[in-house]
Amino acid sequence: MLKSYVSKIFKTGQRGDATEVSYYSCLSSLIKDYAESVGKKGIEVTTLPKKTEGGNPDFRVWDGKEKIVGYLEAKDPSELYLDQIETTEQLERYLGIFPNLILTNFHEFRLYRDGQQVDRVLISRPLIARKLKVAPPVEKEKEFFQLLEKFFAFSFPAINDAKTLAEELAKRTRFLRDEIISEELKTGKGRIAGFYEAFKKYLIGGLTEEDFADLYSQTITYGLFAARTRSENGFNRRSAFHLIPPTIGILRDLFKYISLEDPPPEMEWIIDDISQILAATDVKNILHRFFREGKGKDPIIHFYETFLAEYDPETRERRGVYYTPEPVVGYIVRSLHQILKEEFNRPDGFASTSVTVLDPAAGTLTFLAEAAKLAVDEFVSKYGEGSTEGFIKEHILQDFYAFELIMAPYAVGHLKMGFLLEELGYKLKKDDRFKLYFAVPHLRFGQV
C-alpha cells in the first residue's frame, strides 16, 4: 500500500507540470485504502478546490454521514521543511480550530491533537527522487500506520461545562465569519451574497459586509445550539432545520440553505464541525450546571452571554449583553404583575387583555417569557385551562412586543418563545408569529 503510494507520488512529480493539487488523488486513495484495510467502512475523503491560502484545510476525512474523523493540510512536495510551515499564520489558525489535523508534504506526516504535535513520520525522502530520478524507498511503514491509527482513533470529547462549550463554539464561529462568509461575500455571487442583499433591502439598510458576516455566523452557530437543545436522538446540521419552528421564516430560510441544500464545501465543513461539537455535548449536564450555579435552568436564555464573552467581548460590552439572573427577572416581573393589579386597577395583571407589554431591549426574551408564563398561570388559575389556547392567541400574540439589536439573540428569542408557547398549550400556526422585531438604531425597524 505505502510502496504503491510513494511510487505514484514519484511518477506524478516526474511529469514536470505537477502542482500541489496533482498529488491529492494519491493521498486520498492512501487514506481510503488504509481505512478499508483496518475495517473502517464507508470512510470518505473530500477535498476543497484550491482557491486561496485561507479557508479550511485541504482534506476532510469523515464517515460520509455525520462523524468527522479529522483534517489534512497538504503542501507541495517542494516544501521540504515543515518546521517553517508550522509557524505560519494559516497553520496556527488551523491548529486552534481543528483538534485532529495532519500536516504533510506528501513525504512527511505530522499529526496534531488539540494544537500540539503528537507524532511525525518521514516515509520517503524527496531529495532521492529529485537528484537520483528514482522512487525513494519506503521508510518507517509501521510508524506511519501507527500515526494513521491515532488519527482515526480521534473523536470529539463530550463537553460538560458552559465555558468550554462557549470557547469551542466561539473560535469556530470566528473562523466561519472571517475565513468563509467574508470570502464568499467578496465574490458577489451565490446564495450568501443573495442573503446579504436581501438583508440590506428588507431588514437593515446600510448593513456592511463585515457586519453581515458577523450576524450571519452568530445566527448559524446559536441557531444550531438552540436546535440541539431540542434534539433527542442524534444531531447534525441536516436535522437542525426540522427543529426550527416554521413561523420563524428568516431562520428557516437560513437553515434550509445550510441543512437541505448545497452550501459551499468550505462552509459545509465548518458547520458540520460545529454540529459535531454540539452532538458530543452533554446537554443535560449543562442544563443541570446552569440551574445549580444560579444562572437559571434555560440555556437558550442564559448561554448567549457566555458565548458572546468568548466570541466578541467588545460587542457584549458595547451593546450591554449581560444576562439577568433568573431570580431577579422573576422578582421584577412579579412586582410589575402586582403593581398592575393594585395601582392600575388591572385585576388580572399581565393577563388583563387591556395591558400591552413592551421590552425595548429584549435579548433572548428573558423578561417577556417570564411575563407570558405568569400571565398564562394567572388566566388558568382564574378561568381554567379550557380557553388557554384562545387567550394566548388573542392576548400574548397580540399585546406582547419586543425589539432586539443583535441578530443571534433575536433569532433565539423567536425560537425560545415558540417552544415556550407550545409548553404553555399553544402551538404556533402557519401565520402566527410572536411580535419580536429586529431593530437597528439610526437606520430603521424591520419586521421579519
Band (pLDDT 50/70/90 cuts) for residue 131 is confident
Query: CA 248 to CA 182: how far, in whole Å?
Result: 25
Domain boundaries along the sequence of the chain: 2-152, 162-295+302-311, 326-446
Span 2-152: which CATH code? 3.90.1570
Give DSSP secondary structure letters for 76-131.
Answer: -TT---HHHHHTSHHHHHHHHH-SEEEEESSSEEEEEETTEEEEEEE-S-HHHHHH
Q: Is the CB of residue 268 less than 8 Å from the CB of residue 56?
A: no
What is the residue-wise DSSP string for 137-155?
PP--HHHHHHHHHHHHT--
pLDDT of residue 297: 55
- Of the pLDDT bands very low, low, confident and very high (cuts 50, 70, 90), residue 318 is low
> pLDDT over 70 for what percent of the chain?
89
Question: What average pLDDT does this structure show over 285-305?
Answer: 62
Mean pLDDT of 114-131: 89
Residue 388: all three cell numbers together: 388557554
Closest CA to 178 of 69, 304, 89: 89
Higher pLDDT, 333 or 448: 333
DSSP 231-282: -SS---HHHHGGGS-TT-HHHHHHHHHHHHS---HHHHHHHHHHHHHHHTB-
For residues 286-315, give the mean pLDDT: 67
User: Which of these ranges, 119-128, 193-202, 373-382, has the smallest mean pLDDT?
Assistant: 193-202
Q: Which of 2-16, 138-152, 305-319, 324-338 has the highest mean pLDDT?
A: 138-152
- pLDDT tens by residue, 379-413: 999 999 989 999 999 999 999 999 987 777 777 78
Composition of the chain by helix, strand, coil, percent to 5: 55, 10, 30
- Cβ neighbours of residue 393 under 8 Å, at least 6 residues apart? 426, 432
* Amino acid 51: pLDDT: 58
Report d(CA 117, CA 104) in Å as an integer.
13
Instruction: Determine which of 89-98, 232-241, 332-341 has the lowest per-residue pLDDT on average.
Output: 232-241
Output the pLDDT for position 145: 95
Residue 444, pLDDT above cutoff 80: no
> pLDDT at residue 25 above 50?
yes
Secondary structure (DSSP) of 16-34: S---GGGGHHHHHHHHHHH
Confidence band (pLDDT; 50, 70, 90) for 162?
confident
Q: How high is the pLDDT of residue 443? A: 40
Q: Is the pLDDT of residue 441 over 60?
A: no
**Separation of alpha carbons 114 and 116, rounded Å:** 6
The order of strands in the sheet holding 357-359 is 357-359, 400-404, 435-439, 445-446
**Which pLDDT score is estimated for 19?**
86
CA distances from 156 to 92, 96, 234, 276, 288 (A): 20, 15, 14, 7, 21
Question: Hey, which bits of 373-422 come out as E strands?
Answer: 400-404
- Comparing 37 with 290, the larger pLDDT belongs to 37
Least confident of 39-53, 97-111, 293-307, 346-360: 293-307
Q: Over range 58-64, report the average pLDDT.
A: 89
Would you call 59 helix, strand, or coil by DSSP?
strand
Look at 124-128, 247-251, 269-273, 325-329 and tell me which has the smallest mean pLDDT.
Answer: 247-251
Instruction: Say how far apart CA 15 and CA 1 lie, in whole Å.
Output: 22
Q: Does 442 score more than 50 pLDDT? A: no
Residue type, 81: Y
Instruction: Give the list of residues 6+ apart from residue 326 with CB closer than 8 angstroms, or none.
Output: 294, 295, 296, 297, 298, 302, 366
DSSP 295: S
Mean pLDDT for the chain? 85
Question: Which tens digits make up the pLDDT trace of 37-52?
Answer: 999 888 999 998 665 5
Contact predicate 154/99, CB 8 Å: yes
Q: What is the DSSP letter of 324?
A: P
Position 141 scores a pLDDT of 93
